[in-house]
Structure 1
Amino acid sequence: MTKRTEAVRVPDGEFSLHVWLPEKGSGPGILLIQEIFGVGDYMAAVAEDLAALGYVVAAPDMFWRLERDWTVEHSETMMAEAGDKASRFDWERGQADLEAALDRLRGLPEVSGGVGAVGFCFGGSLAYLLAANASGKLDAVVSFYGSRVPGLLDRAGDITVPIQFHFGGSDPYIPREEITKVEEAFAGRGNVEFHVQEDGGHAFHNRTSPIFHQPEPAARAWALTEDFLARRLPVS
Structure 2
Amino acid sequence: MNNNNKNIPEEAFDWYDSYAHGGMDRRTFMKKLTGLVALGYSMTTLTGALFPNYALAEQVSFNDAEITATYLNFPSPQGHGEGRGYLVLPKSITTNTGDAPVKKAPVVLVVHENRGLNPYVKDVARRLAKAGFIAFAPDALFPLGGYPGNDDEGRSMQRSLERSKIEQDFVAAANFIKSHELSNDKLGVVGFCFGGYMVNYLAAVDSKLIDAGVPFYGTPASKELRKNIKAPLMIQLGELDERVNASWPEYEKDLKANNVEYVMHMYENAKHGFHNDSTGRYDQANADLAWSRTIGFFNSKLA
Q: Are 2:74 and 1:2 equivalent residues in the alignment?
A: no
Q: Which has the larger radius of gyration?
A: 2
2:141 to 63, 66, 74: 63
Counterpart AA for 2:147 = W
Indicate the residue corresponding to 2:100 in structure 1: none
5 Å-filtered alignment, 1:86-165, equals 86-146=158-218, 148-149=219-220, 152-165=222-235
Q: Which moved more, 1:190-199 or 1:116-125?
A: 190-199
- Work out whether 1:13 is the aligned partner of 2:81: yes
Distance 1:218 1:95 in 2: 27
Aligned-residue offset at 1:21: 0.1
- Secondary structure at the residue paired with 2:188? strand
Does residue 193 of the first structure (1) align with residue 263 of the second (2)? Answer: yes
1:106 aligned partner, one-letter code: K
2:132 is matched with which residue?
54
Q: Does 1:72 align with 2:149?
A: yes
Structure 1 position 213, deviation (Å):
1.0
**What residue identity is the alignment partner of 1:59?**
A
Aligned to 2:120: 42
Question: Which whole-Å CA distance do the structure 2 matches of 1:190 and 1:36 have between them?
Answer: 27
Verify: 1:167 aligned to 2:237, yes or no: yes
2:90 aligns with 22
Matched, 1:214 2:283: yes
What is the alpha-carbon distance in structure 2 between the residues aligned to residue 62 and residue 92 of structure 1?
Answer: 12
What secondary structure, in the 3-state scheme, does the structure 2 residue paired with 1:137 have?
A: coil
Measure, in 2, the Cα distance between the counterparts of 1:92 and 1:23.
36
Structure 1 residue ranges without an equivalent (≥5): none
The answer for the alignment partner of 1:182 in structure 2 is 251
Q: Secondary structure of the equivalent of 2:246?
A: helix
Partner amino acid for 2:270?
G
Whichever residue aligns with residue 90 of structure 1, its letter is E
State whether residues 61 and 68 of structure 1, in contact with CA within 8 Å, keep that contact through their aligned partners in structure 2. no
- Higher share in helix: 2
Alpha-carbon offset, residue 33 of structure 1? 0.9
Aligned to 2:62: none
How far apart are 1:82 and its partner, in Å? 3.8
| Greater CA drift, 214-223 or 124-133 | 214-223
Summarize deviations over 1:51-98 as a string: whole Å, max 9, x none: 111111111111223x2221435xxxx4x4343234333221122111
TM-score by length of 1: 0.86
Query: Are the counterparts in 1 of residues 202 and 209 from structure 2 also a CA contact under 8 Å?
Result: no
Q: Is the 8 A contact 2:116 2:158 kept in 1?
A: no
Three-state SS of the structure 1 residue aligned to 2:142 is: coil
Aligned Cα RMSD in Å? 2.0
Whether contact under 8 Å (2:231, 2:260) holds in the other structure is no
**For the Cα contact (< 8 Å) 1:17–1:59, is it kept in 2?**
yes
Change (3 A) 1:172 1:93: same
> Unpaired runs of 5+ in structure 2?
1-66, 94-103
Deviation, 1:170, is 0.2
Give the match for residue 44 of structure 2. Answer: none
Asked if structure 1 preserves the Cα contact closer than 8 Å seen for 2:204 and 2:229, the reply is yes
Q: Which residue of structure 2 lines up, in the alignment, with residue 202 of structure 1?
A: 272
Q: Which runs of 4+ in 1 moved over 3 A?
A: 80-83, 187-190
Does the 8 Å CA contact 1:167/1:179 hold for their aligned counterparts?
Answer: no
CA distance in 2, matches of 1:22, 1:152: 35
Instruction: Quote the offset at 1:49 in angstroms.
Output: 1.3
